[in-house]
Amino acid sequence: MKVADVFHVKNPEVRALHLTWIAFFITFYVWFNMAPLASSMLKSVDWLTADDLRLFAICNVALTIPARIIVGMALDRFGPRRVFSVLMVLMSIPALVFAFGNTMTQLLVSRLVLSSIGASFVVGIHMTAMWFKPRDIGFAEGFYAGWGNFGSAAAAITLPTIALHMYGGEDGWRWAIAQSAIVMAAYGVYYWFAITDGPVGTVHRKPRKAVALEVSSWGDMIKLILWTIPLVGVLGILVWRIENMGYLSATGAAICYAVIVAIVCYQIIQILRVNIPLLKQGVPEDDKYPFNSVAALNSTYFANFGAELAVVSMLPMFFEETWSLSATAAGLIAASFAFVNLVARPMGGLVSDRMGNRRFVMLSYMFGISVGFALMALMNSSWPLIIAVGITVFTSFFVQGAEGATFGIIPSIKRRLTGQISGMAGAYGNVGAVVYLTIFTFVTSTQFFYIIAGGAFISWLLCMMWLKEPESGFADEYQVSSVDLQIEEEERRRQAAATT
């Protein structure tokens, strides 16, 4: 696929790509619609404090992690068209409740539920993989994610203007948020009718059971359990922070910890229920896949997307304090880190497509991230500002490119499990953000940059040891195993029986 092909909107796959990144763009626009209106909210609601908004910011990412896992399972069962449409319509409800909420409880609960909308990322990844062949998937996924992520920046740019000039008054922020929610719900309905799960006639390959990821060996099952525990366990850090901020009592925190432990135990039980019968029966050789590759890509998304979310949160203050800049100038310079996303992420996927070796591209990007953040750790006020900005853009280029390269590999690991693998890797990006942001509260900016550089280097080592080049990474079609064909035949018989 060439870059110019994205303008050929009459091609069904290109049209599907545009429809899907627009859906992703809208969901991220709604997800991040609070921060740019925070000052308006404080002026409008006299009982709301800055600490309340910090709590809402934590809630805004709280359920994204489990939501990405659950949505990943739903994708393999129902397909991305239904899941994306339902997600957009359902999430418009908490967005509207937040817009017109008049109590602390209404705002807190609605923002908590709305955080599930962050799962939209993995839905589009799955839909894009169904429309594009393995040889083109890197650029397609990168283009989708790059423009979709821009939705958060678009919200920051446009929402204050909409609130002030289109609606105005004390409740302008409410109507601006409500408008974004209504647009999302309307697009969710449109998306249902405007697209199919892949080209007409495509077989939606899915696992027999979607409650847990299938693996190929007993050793892989143990590894899956070990990689599953942090996904929900990291919510304990959020509970700890909320308790420390004084919004949760010790008893309430204890209940939350107990719920988290119960969910982890439930997930482990599901893993055992799905995989023990399969492993006892024996997994055919042509159906096996390397779980180590999944683990390696979990680590890359932890180290690149997790670092991106954390750095974007602290970079404006870093520039402002280090070079004594105004808040406006520091914000504009720091924004360069996010704007690079529009080019760097599709570029990461495109390089992954063209180099003929997706593993080498992944390794190169992760090494570049570790070098970039190490250089940022060395920056201080004696450095020329232009050099500091150049290094920041250089680092961002590798961070965003690595994100594109990660999802250039995932669809080729195991076709019928793409939803669950995408959900797991995507969730690890949020785990990284929670871990890095928590660490940042205890260290200086210099120490923080060294830590995330170290995280990227550890991921590079894991990729060196575990990541394998996918067998069908550049083929015309995804690899189909004997189990895929067996499931397809069973589904055909089931549908035939249902119609007679």
Q: What is the pLDDT of residues 82-106, one digit of tens each?
A: 999 999 999 999 999 999 998 888 9
Report angle CA 478, 25, 338 to the nearest 5 degrees: 95
Locus of tokens 């996303």 = 341
Q: What is the mean pLDDT of the chain?
A: 86
Beta-carbon-side half-sphere exposure of residue 258 (alpha carbons within 13 Å): 6
Pull the structure tokens for residue 218.
């007993």
Give yes or no for residue 205 having a pLDDT over 70.
no
The pLDDT tens digits of the residues spanning 411-457 come to 888 878 887 888 888 889 888 988 888 888 788 989 999 999 999 99
The pLDDT tens digits of the residues spanning 303-324 come to 998 888 788 777 877 888 888 8
Confidence band of 473 (pLDDT split at 50, 70, 90): low
CB 38 within 8 A of CB 53: yes
- What's the CA gap between 28 and 304, in Å, rounded? 18
Confidence band of 65 (pLDDT split at 50, 70, 90): confident
Give yes or no for residue 227 having a pLDDT over 70.
yes
CA 456 to chain centre: 18
Other CB atoms within 10 A of residue 181 CB? 23
Give yes or no for residue 338 having a pLDDT over 70.
no
Alpha helices of 79-171 — where are they, by DSSP H?
A: 80-100, 104-114, 120-131, 137-161
* Residue (of 77, 163, 169, 171) closest to 126 by Cα position: 77
Confidence band of 328 (pLDDT split at 50, 70, 90): low
Confidence band of 246 (pLDDT split at 50, 70, 90): confident
- What's the CA gap between 351 and 356, in Å, rounded? 9
The pLDDT tens digits of the residues spanning 102-119 come to 888 899 889 989 989 988
